[in-house]
Amino acid sequence: MTNTNIPITPASGVVPDPIQAGLAAGWRVTDCSLIDKDQTLEADVVIVGSGAGGGVTAELLALAGLNVLIVEEGALKSSKDFKMRESDAYPALYQESAARKTRDKGINILQGRTVGGSTTINWTSSFRTPPATLDYWNKHFGLKDYTPEALAPWFEMMEQRLNIAEWAAPPNENNDLLRRGAQKLGIPTAIIHRNVNGCWNLGYCGMGCPTNAKQSMLVTTIPSALQHGASLLTRLRAERFVFKGDRIEQLECLALDPAGLAPSGRRVTLRARHFVLSGGAINSPALLLRSAAPDPHGLLGKRTFLHPTVISAGLYPQRVDGYAGAPQSVYSDHFLHTDAIDGPMGYKLEAPPLHPVLLSSTMSGFGAQHAAMMRDFSHFHVLLALLRDGFHADAPGGSVGLAAGGAAVLDYPIGDFIWDGVRRALLTMAEIQFASGAKSVAPVHEHAGSYTSWDEAKKAINALPFRLLSTRVVSAHVMGGCGMSDDERLGVTSSQGRYHGVSNLSVHDGSLFPTSIGANPQLSIYGLTARLASGLAQQLTGQPAPRLMRT
């Protein structure tokens, strides 16, 4: 096994770039925006997407000796490109320049679109799937072998592979304010586990890690797969599966222009024994819808979850410098446990990194008010509440459909049940922020002001009109849409990740989840897809599956 972790060098030196080194060593990588004629390629397994699910699957199958071909719509970017500039990072690394939205534009969605997918630009927070979530899957979707005990070895393997451990350095002030405010109110918090190795504590995880400390798919599983003979096609959009009987005969792909916005006119056709779909919970169902995949019970693309997230900004006398240091290190699950999982909506509390574009575009208002807020940029502490959707009939998630031209689009309506959770979450965050010493607190809402006491904030928040476009709602966690159940009336994929009714298609990404996770989903995707890919490797080779490990 090759160790693909990169030793860090002193700040005076240049950070080694494993991608450039691999390309120089002859990895099979094709930038399809540069091809000048149509192509047909064959492999044992074609994997669509190079994020958390695709990366883990690619490494496992390549180590098992299979000929693997990875399709990625984004470009191959690496540490030499990661200059910690929002103006470069968002267009280069995110779906729709980090401005992907639901159909009515009510919810802004952050998702990666680059080699490594969202793992290249996420904030490294790593949680095992909560036992209460697995218990719900067992009861409601019959997923009997998805228990904490059965999954523990897979989480352990991925934690070791990606160096996931509790963050040992002190939290930055933006996170510590959550800890201190919650402590004053008797609300327990804990320290987040992160997938980093030799982290410089810079705070720019969301723009691509400039030091290769983040153990994203970009610097771990994908390089390993490529070293074991896998091929990577970038700037290539998976357009449509072509079915013959119960099998996928081929995958038709469109090469994109160098900007990644429009098809170049070149086509690539991919044939394989088996196909693995790992495009994420918006693009995976959309590809299946474009392909008219079997969906006898009308479940495909339904029950798509977002952890709808609301925001509260507190202003402090001291500098907070929310752009500096590990973006997320403190969390509280207290409000996930105050009610039953299928009762009033629970929420997880975290802090986000604060960078000028992200903060200025997220904060509501304009003119003098907005300018005054931006002048205090370094004194802001922001909290997020991630609402746990999918566990109650009134939080059934959204649905992925196709816009004109076949592009994916997500409808996500929000009703009174969810708004009740939003209201309670905004109240909680304001109370914590006043407890940690905020001079004023502004819930991010077009009708909200900036409040200087908890009493004032409480009255105002309770009186706010809650509806989309007025309340700022965001999401960085898209899940569901190809939900698992061995009962075809309850899910389009089996507990083994096989798509029902198609004999050579697996889905390995967050779209498998029958509910939201109730925690940042990356480790859930790693652990679950490691198990599914190991089973697949065994079925395809007749040999025991390899294990992923760091050396």
Residues that bind another protein (CB under 8 A): 11-12, 15, 83-87, 90-91, 96-97, 99, 104-106, 202, 204, 210-211, 259, 261-262, 319, 323, 356-357, 359-361, 366-372, 374-375, 377-378, 403-405, 407, 446-447, 468-470
Tell me how far, at minimum, the Cβ of 104 lies from another protein, in Å: 6
* CB closer to another protein, 145 vs 446: 446
Q: State the sign of the Cα–Cα–Cα–Cα dihedral 372, 376, 377, 382.
A: negative
Who contacts 48 (Cβ-Cβ below 8 Å, separation ≥6)? 54, 71, 238, 251, 275, 276, 277, 278, 279, 284, 287
Phi, psi of 448 (to 5 degrees): -90, 150
CB of 524 to another protein, least distance (A): 29
Long-range contacts of 9-18 (CB under 8 A, 24+ apart): 15/79, 15/210, 15/211, 15/212, 16/212, 17/78, 17/79, 17/80, 17/212, 18/78, 18/79, 18/212, 18/219, 18/223
Output DSSP code: residue 476: S
CB nearer another protein, residue 191 or residue 202 = 202
Counted residue by residue, the chain has a size of 551
Nearest distance, CB of residue 362 and another protein, angstroms: 8
- Residue closer to another protein (CB basis): 185 or 403: 403
Number of helices followed by number of strands (H, E) in the chain: 14, 24
Task: At 57, list the tokens.
Answer: 């699957």
Q: Which is nearer to another protein, 10 or 26 (CB)?
A: 10
165/202 with CB nearer another protein: 202
When the beta carbons of 440 and 495 are compared against another protein, the nearer one is: 440
- Cβ closest to another protein, residue 210 vs residue 421: 210
Distance of closest approach, residue 96 Cβ to another protein, in angstroms: 5
Shortest Å, Cβ 67 to another protein: 33
| Residue 396: closest CA among 480, 330, 470, 455 | 480
Cβ 86 to another protein shortest distance, Å: 5
- 513 beta partners: none
Minimum CB separation from another protein for residue 447, in Å?
Answer: 7
**Three-state secondary structure call for residue 315:** strand
Residue 321 C-beta: closest distance to another protein, Å: 9
| Nearer to another protein (CB atom), residue 138 or residue 378 | 378
Task: Map 330-366 to HEC letters.
Answer: EEECHHHHCCCCCCCCCEEEECCCCCHHHHHHHCCCC
User: Are 350 and 223 in contact, with CB atoms under 8 Å apart?
Assistant: no
